[in-house]
C-alpha cells in the first residue's frame, strides 16, 4: 500500500505532504569529520520518507509503517523522551528546534525508512533530517539545509549521546544525485563532485554483524585524537588534527604513545587520500580511485583499528575479485558496510563469490545493495 494510504488508515486523513532525507555512503575520508578535515560522502536512494499532517494539538504523534506503537511527544516537554526505543530521534530533533527558537506545530508523522538499521548507512541521520525538514515545512518555515544538518547533529550529540561529527547529517540533507559531496568539516564549505563511474557501480556489502559497543568505541577514538592534537599543539599552532602535516607528525613520533601516533597517522594520511581521490575522480582515473579505497581500509584496519574481522573479510574478498577496482569499510566501522567499486558486468559474480567467501569465513551471510546516488532532502 502507498505511504499516503497507510497514513490515512493510521490517522484518518491523507497527509499534507511527504518529504524524504537520504542515507549516505562515505566514499573516503573516514573518521575525519570530527578532526576538521574533508570528507567525500554521497547520498543514497535508500532513504527515510515521512508523511506529515498538522493535527491542531501540541503533540507529535510518531508512527512507522513497520511498527505498531505510536510515540506521542509533548511539544512543551520535548526533553522527556530520551529513553524511547522508537521516537527518540524525533524527540531529540524537536528538542533542539525548540531550544533554537524554531516554531513547532503539532502533527502526525508516518515514517517509511529503507535505509537498513545498524548498517553504517546513517539511518539515524536520515530520520533526523527528514523530521527536522518536515517539522519546519509544516510550521511554514523554509529552512536552510546546512543549518538543519547542524541542528540534527546536535540532537544526536545532546539527546542520543552519540558524539558524531557533521558528515552524515550534511550528506543526508545536501546530497545531490550523481555527485559526491566534498565537505570541509571545519568550515562547512561543500563542493559537488561529479561521480562518473563509467562501466562501474558502487556495491554496498553489509556484514550484518550484530550491534556491539560501536558508540563507546567511537567515543574512545574521539578521545584518542583529542590527545593526539593536544600533544601536537606543542609543535605548532594547530586547531585541528587534519591541519598537521605528516612530516610534523613523524618528527614528533617519539613524544607520542604508539597508539596515539597511529591514530593520528590515520587521520593525516586519510586527509591526503581524500585530496588524491578527488583528483582521481576529476581525471576519470578509476583505477587510482580504487587503490585509494584499499589504502583507506588498510589504514582504518592497522592504524585506526575500527574494522574488525567481518569488515576485513568482506574487503579482502572484494580485493581478490577480478571485477573489483577497490573496496573499503564505510561509516564508523566495527560492523556495517563496505563500499566497493565494481565493474557492472561483474556485479552478479562479485556478489556471489564475495558472499560465499564471507559466509564460509564468518558463518552468517552478508547482504548486498547496488548503490544509487540520489538527492538528499526531497519533497515528493
Ligand atoms: C559515523 C559518524 C560520522 C563520522 C563517521 C566516521 O558515521 O556519525 O560523523 O564520524 O562515523 O567517518
- Give the CATH fold of the 3-194 domain: Ribosomal Protein S5; domain 2 (3.30.230)
Does ligand 1 come within 6 angstroms of the Cβ of 165? yes
Answer yes or no: 168 catalytic: yes
| CA angle, 245 then 258 then 291, to 5° | 55
C-alpha atoms less than 13 angstroms from C-alpha of 347 in its C-beta half-sphere: 17
CB of 29 closer than 6 angstroms to any ligand 1 atom: no
Q: Cell for 200? A: 562501474
Identify the pLDDT of residue 210.
87
Domain ranges of the chain: 3-194
Q: What tens digit of pLDDT does each residue of 190-247 get?
A: 999 999 999 999 999 999 998 666 888 999 999 999 999 999 999 999 999 999 999 9
Index of the ligand 1 atom closest to the CA of residue 26:
12
Q: Does the structure show a pLDDT above 90 at 42?
A: yes
Would you say the CB of residue 31 lies under 6 angstroms from ligand 1? yes
164 lines ligand 1 (CB under 6 A): yes
The tens digit of pLDDT for each residue in 62-105 reads 999 999 999 999 999 999 999 899 999 999 999 999 999 999 99
Helix axes 347-362, 309-319, angle to 10 degrees: 140
Site to probe by mutation for ligand 1, drawn from 167, 242, 328, 335 as the one with most ligand atoms within 8 Å of Cβ, is 167
Q: Report the distance separating Cα 73 and Cα 177, nearest Å.
A: 34
Task: State the pTM of this model.
Answer: 0.97
Amino acid at each position: 500500500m502507498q505511504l499516503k494510504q497507510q497514513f490515512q488508515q493510521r490517522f484518518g486523513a491523507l497527509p499534507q505532504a511527504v518529504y524524504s532525507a537520504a542515507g549516505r555512503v562515505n566514499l573516503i575520508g573516514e573518521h575525519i569529520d570530527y578532526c576538521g578535515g574533508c570528507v567525500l560522502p554521497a547520498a543514497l536512494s535508500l532513504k527515510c520518507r515521512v508523511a506529515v499532517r498538522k493535527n491542531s494539538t501540541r503533540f507529535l504523534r510518531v508512527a512507522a509503517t513497520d511498527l505498531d506503537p505510536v510515540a506521542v511527544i509533548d511539544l512543551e516537554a520535548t526533553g522527556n523522551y530520551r529513553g524511547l526505543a522508537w521516537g527518540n530521534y524525533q524527540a531529540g530533533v524537536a528538542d533542539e528546534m525548540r531550544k533554537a527558537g524554531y516554531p513547532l506545530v503539532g502533527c502526525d508523522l508516518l515514517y517509511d525508512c529503507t535505509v537498513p538499521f545498524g548498517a553504517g548507512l546513517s539511518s539515524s541521520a536520515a530520520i533526523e533530517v527528514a523530521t527536522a525538514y518536515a517539522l519546519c515545512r509544516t510550521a511554514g518555515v523554509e529552512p536552510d539545509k546546512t543549518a538543519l544538518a547542524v541542528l540534527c547533529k546536535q540532537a544526536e550529540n545532546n539527546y542520543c549521546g552519540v558524539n558524531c561529527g557533521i558528515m552524515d547529517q550534511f550528506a543526508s540533507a545536501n546530497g545531490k544525485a550523481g555527485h559526491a559531496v566534498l565537505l570541509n568539516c571545519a568550515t562547512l564549505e561543500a563542493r559537488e563532485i561529479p561521480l562518473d563511474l563509467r562501466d562501474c557501480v558502487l556495491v554496498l556489502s553489509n556484514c550484518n554483524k550484530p550491534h556491539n559497543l560501536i558508540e563507546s568505541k567511537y567515543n574512545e577514538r574521539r578521545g584518542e585524537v583529542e590527545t593526539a592534537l593536544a600533544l601536537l599543539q606543542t609543535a605548532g599552532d594547530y586547531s585541528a588534527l587534519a591541519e598537521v602535516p605528516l612530516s610534523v607528525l613523524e618528527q614528533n613520533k617519539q613524544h607520542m604513545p604508539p597508539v596515539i601516533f597511529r591514530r593520528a597517522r590515520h587521520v593525516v594520511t586519510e586527509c591526503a587520500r581524500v585530496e588524491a581521490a578527488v583528483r582521481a575522480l576529476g581525471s576519470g582515473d578509476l583505477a587510482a580511485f580504487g587503490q585509494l579505497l584499499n589504502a583507506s581500509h588498510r589504514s582504518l584496519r592497522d592504524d585506526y583499528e575500527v574494522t574488525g574481522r567481518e569488515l576485513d573479510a568482506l574487503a579482502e574478498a572484494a580485493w581478490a575479485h577480478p571485477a573489483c577496482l577497490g573496496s573499503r569499510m564505510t561509516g564508523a566501522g566495527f560492523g556495517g558496510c563496505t563500499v566497493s567499486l565494481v565493474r557492472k558486468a561483474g556485479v552478479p559474480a562479485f556478489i556471489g563469490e564475495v558472499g560465499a567467501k564471507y559466509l564460509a569465513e564468518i558463518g552468517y551471510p552478508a547482504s548486498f545493495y547496488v548503490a544509487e546516488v540520489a538527492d538528499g532532502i526531497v519533497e515528493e
